[in-house]
Chains A and B, each alone.
Chain A
Amino acid sequence: MRVAIASGKGGTGKTTLAVCLAHALGERRERVTYVDCDVEEPNGHIFLKPTFDEGAPVELLVPSDHVEGCTACGRCTEFCEFNAIVNVRDTVIVFPDLCHGCGGCILVCPERAIVEKAHGVGVIERGRVDGIDVVRGTLTVGRPLAVPVVRAARAAAPDGGITVIDAPPGTACPAVEAMRGADRVILVTEPTPFGLHDLDLAARTVRELGLESSVVVNRCDVGDAKVRDYARRMGIPVVGEIPHDRAIAEAYARGDPPCRVSRAFHDTVARLADKITNGGGGDPA
């Protein structure tokens, strides 16, 4: 069972919900893995505080600049959809940060002049804390492509047990990659115009992926009632509402899981954990 915690808007509480859900599932003696797929700005470790004892680089196979036998025929340049390889006089220059690692240039080179080399784009770390397996994907600063790191983080989770995926904000490729293969998606939002607008985008994205979503409304007593109306109209179940609470904000600031200081947060997560452990794969959480 894979549960993705996502949102359109950033800063709505994805990470704290994901972390507390992982704790709640761990307390129910489930085999649980928390995967931080917000690889541009991973924060789950701040709350979980695991010891990472394993790490592996995420590498993309990109063409090497070292091309022996290149006749500068230009086929690789023409084939590359990402402008990652260009002809300069009698050779080619590679821009590894533009390369998606498709391997096309190698396939089309009639001289077999292109060889691949590993280009580090990030790192996957594994650790453990309080019975929770923790996987963290981190994009190397300056590298533009988050998707390969998200993919590697997702792949690092075991098949069995329950996997809680902490997705990045937005609706673009990194968020989509994080949600792929999930059994259910929980969208965290807040009842403001920005929250509503981005919830709508996220819910559409989830639908395009062929998945169903449910919603947790964080800071449910600020803003207005439009998020609730929207969820009702769209038939998206609201599975939790957490009031604004200074104690939650303070715990968050210190890096403590808010389920330890807020009854509302704790109960919301407990209900979700019960649904996930009892409900099977059927209706969305």
Chain B
Amino acid sequence: VKELVVISGKGGTGKTSVIAAFAALAGESVLVDCDVDAADLHLILDPADSRPRVFIGGKVASIDRDACTGCGRCAEACRFEAIVLHDPHGNGGARYAVDPMACEGCGVCSFVCPAGAVSLNEETSGEWTISETRFGPLVHARLLPARGNSGKLVTLIRGAARALANGRHASLVLADGPPGIGCPVIASLSGADAVLIVTEPSLSGLHDLERVTELARGFRMTPAVCINKWDLAPDVTETLAAWCGNEDVPVVGRIPYDRAVTDAQVRGVSVIEHGEGPAASAVRDVWERVGAVLGLETEGEE
């Protein structure tokens, strides 16, 4: 099983539209949406309903108000500004409480509390699902608003996708990665076989491309680059291509700006299914070249 991860550094460059088109071109593959805090791939793949599984991301502290003596040791020891004065003018003196949004679940407050008032409890941080779609199974997740540990959830669903591919004798896992370079991106890249960066012709796109390329290289991977909406700024596209040339990063295609991409999204289909057009045809070329450059099997129904 080979796994291709699509990332971008900068958000909104078109990762999900590209991966949805790849799914349509690949025939049978296993799909996984690693952008767990703003997952969108299911909006195009229209997965069948299936039973979600709970994701326990970590722990969160809570203080028993009746047992708290207000000594404040927890607040002193906490390094995450997660202990707040709850009732500063209460009749029995001050009482402390945990801001669950700031709590990292380290347990220091519980350790230092002389009254045994702090407990550490496992927290449901999200859910994940395996659903059937018209292009193969999709493993997707939903991090609850404002919950942490997205990297752990990404590792979990990528593992599930790989196991599923092995079980079904699928040769390819297509992963839609998150934006940025932080923990969910690192969790998406670790152990992947190939990485495609979808970028856009802007100075922001270039700046973010440089950082995300450096990150991929840290994993000893050479990414391939695809420049989306390239004709919105042809001069910046040339700058991007020149940078890639200097860095020995292959550019596997340029996709023109095409309103068909948005129209397809509104219809809930991939740009390939939406019909032939400049973007669809460019994405086909990218798919061919990604397979060749990254050493993937890309023979599908095409």
Chain A interface (Cβ within 8 Å of chain B)?
8-12, 15, 40-41, 43, 46, 61, 79, 81-82, 100-104, 107-108, 139, 141-146, 151, 168-176, 180, 192-194, 197-198, 201-202, 204-205, 207-209, 222-224, 246, 249-250, 252-255
B293 within 8 A of A: no
Q: Is the CB of A104 within 8 A of B107?
A: yes
B244 within 8 Å of A by Cβ? no
How many whole Å from A203's CB to the nearest CB in chain B?
9
The chain A residue sitting closest to B143, CB to CB, is: A172
Across the interface, which residues of A come within 8 angstroms of B150, CB to CB? Answer: 172-173
Q: How far is the CA of A200 from the CA of B259 in the complex (A)?
A: 24
Across-interface contacts of B181 in A (CB, < 8 A)? 40-41, 139, 141
Task: Report the nearest B residue to A198, measured CB to CB.
Answer: B38
Interface size class for chain B?
35 or more
The yes or no answer to B43 lying at the interface (CB within 8 A) is yes
Do A15 and B38 touch across chains, with their CB atoms under 8 A apart? no
Query: Max chain A CB contacts within 10 Å: which of B43, B79, B145, B181?
Result: B145
Cα distance A202–B38 in the bound complex, in angstroms: 9
A104 to B77 Cα, complex, angstroms: 9
Segment at the interface with A among B63-71, B127-135, B202-210, B280-288: B202-210
Neighbouring A residues of B208 by C-beta, 8 Å: 41, 43
Complex: how many Å from CA A58 to CA B236? 33
Decide yes or no: A8 and B151 within 8 Å by CB, A41-B211, A171-B145, A252-B202 being known contacts: no
- Among the listed A139, A142, A171, which residue makes an inter-chain contact with B143, where contact means beta carbons less than 8 Å apart? A171
B107 touches which of A10, A40, A79, A197 (Cβ 8 Å):
A79
Taking CB atoms and an 8 Å cut-off, the chain B residues in 14-63 that contact chain A are: 16, 35-38, 40, 43, 58-59
Nearest chain A residue, comparing its CB with the CB of B181:
A40
On chain A, the residues within 8 Å of B178 by CB distance are 170
Q: Tell me the bound Cα distance from A264 to B160 in angstroms.
A: 47
7 sample A-B contacts, Cβ–Cβ < 8 Å, listed by A number = A41-B180, A146-B182, A180-B102, A192-B266, A222-B259, A223-B265, A250-B233
User: How far apart are the CA atoms of A255 and B202 in the complex, in Å?
Assistant: 7
**Central interface residue in A173, A180, A254, A255, by most chain B CB within 10 Å:** A173
B182 touches A40 (CB 8 A): yes
Q: How far is the CB of A106 from chain B (nearest CB, A)?
A: 10
Footprint of A on B, CB under 8 Å? 8-13, 16, 35-38, 40, 43, 58-59, 77, 79-81, 101-102, 104-108, 111-112, 143, 145-151, 178-186, 200-204, 207-208, 211-212, 214-215, 218, 232-233, 236, 259, 262, 265-266, 268
Complex partner residue of A141 from B58, B107, B202, B218, CB under 8 angstroms: B218
Q: A102 with B106: in contact, given A172-B184, A255-B203 (CB under 8 Å)?
A: yes
CA distance A190 to B214 in the complex (A): 30
Most buried by B among A103, A144, A223: A144
Q: How far is the CA of A279 from the CA of B281 in the complex (A)?
A: 51
Tell me how far the C-beta of B218 lies from the nearest C-beta in chain A, rounded to whole angstroms: 5
With CB as the reference atom, state the residue of chain B lying closest to A45.
B207
Give the chain B neighbours of A176 by CB distance below 8 A: 101, 146
Asked, given contacts A15-B204, A144-B151, A208-B146, whether A174 binds B106 with beta carbons under 8 Å apart, the answer is no
Q: A143: which B residues are within 8 A, CB to CB? A: 182
